[in-house]
Amino acid sequence: MSTDRLDIVFTAPHPDDLEIGMGGAIARCVQQGYRVGMFHMTNGEPTPRGTPETRAEETHAAAEILGAHVCETLTMPNRVLMDCPENRYVLATVLRRYKPKVLVGMAGRTVAASPDHYQAQLITEAARFYSQLTKWDDRFGGTEPHRMDHLLYRVVPMAAEANFFPSRIVVDIGETIEKKLEAVRAYRSQFDGVRLAHVEHVIRSIAGYEGAMAGFAYGEAYAVPRPIGTSDLMAALGEWGPPPPFDPLAPPRANAAG
């Protein structure tokens, strides 16, 4: 495992969760020059459509499309993923090795889909705390404690319950949505034909809605578990495109700074 520091780490329970949910922001961060890591908690197998070898190939192909500097599949079990000390240690060890400033994970209970999703949220939250603990290095492969500045959530848009978070950020993915879709297509064993068309429709629809909230053509919304502070109010507000208020005589812009 490389130990070069990363700026931001994205984690989710299964291969394709990151690409479907966060692929636009991953590619955008890479485009902007940040060092990005993708960490799948499980290998996603068994499934009716795949094999461990096929999923591993697809995972790395998707990461190459998005441009991630590091992509790893951790050792947690699929289908029976649980928030427990051992799984917390696994993810916390990764965080202590790569020392990112920002950690991004999923949030929300998906009662009609895998329970792994919610368990992954709990593991991510605990691992962030565990990564900074002292006098416990033996549980994390001898790595040194590391404190992360920020935790962000990619809230599942179709979660069973509404979640309240003090702040939200919408990332402009107008320039990277095609990379996001291309990365999803890399999972050929999981998405083909009608299934792929449905997933692409859902991705574009959600990205269009979330982007519109901030005046972008396409966006990904991230929740923050605390208020976002600023020392420069005007810089934080930036420019604002449609929806209103807007200049009815100005030509339309595909993407506007939010």
Query: What digits encode the pLDDT tens for the residues 64-87?
Result: 999 999 999 999 999 999 999 999
Looking up tokens 């051992």 gives 86
Other beta carbons less than 10 A from residue 185's beta carbon: 18
Closest CA to 208 of 220, 196, 197: 220
Share of the chain above pLDDT 70, in %: 92
pLDDT at 250: 58
Q: Where is pLDDT greater, at 257 or 59?
A: 59
What's the one-letter identity of residue 199?
V
pLDDT at 61: 98
Mean pLDDT of the chain: 92
What pLDDT is recorded for position 1?
43
Distances (CA, A) of 7 to 70, 228, 239, 247: 11, 19, 26, 38
pLDDT above 90 for 112: no
Q: How confident is the model at residue 256 (pLDDT cuts 50, 70, 90)?
A: very low
Span 240-254, mean pLDDT? 57
Q: What integer is the mean pLDDT of 152-161?
A: 89
For 26-46, how does the pLDDT look when each residue is reduced to its tens digit (9 = 90+)? 999 999 999 999 999 999 999
Q: Which of 157, 82, 167 is nearest to 116 (CA)?
A: 82
Amino acid at 54: T
Whether the bond between 85 and the residue before it is cis, its omega within 30 degrees of 0, is no
pLDDT of residue 162: 79
**φ, ψ of residue 154 in degrees (nearest 5):** -95, 100
Identify which has the larger pLDDT, 242 or 230: 230
pLDDT of the residue at 86: 98
Report the chain's C-alpha Rg in angstroms: 18
Structure tokens at 192: 């083909």
Instruction: Please compute, for residue 222, the number of CA atoms within 13 A of its CA located in the half-sphere on the CB side.
Output: 25
> In this structure, are residues 220 and 212 in contact, taking their beta carbons and an 8 Å threshold?
no
CA 18 to chain centre: 5
**Could you tell me which residues come within 8 angstroms of residue 75 by beta carbon, excluding any fewer than 6 positions away?**
90
Closest alpha carbon to 120 in 131, 105, 102, 110: 105
More confident of the two residues 31 and 253: 31
Give the model's confidence band at 140: pLDDT under 50 very low, under 70 low, under 90 confident, else very high.
Answer: very high
Beta-bridge partner residues of 8: 36, 102
pLDDT the model gives residue 257: 44
The arithmetic mean of pLDDT across residues 44-60, rounded, is 94
**What pLDDT, on a 0 to 100 scale, did the predictor assign at position 254?**
52
Which pLDDT score is estimated for 244? 54
Pull the structure tokens for residue 165. 């978070």
- What is the per-residue pLDDT for 92? 98
Spell out the alpha helix ranges (H) of the chain: 17-31, 52-66, 85-98, 116-130, 177-185, 193-212, 233-237
Q: Which domains does the chain have, with CATH numbers?
A: 8-230 (3.40.50.10320)
Per-residue model confidence (pLDDT) at position 160: 80
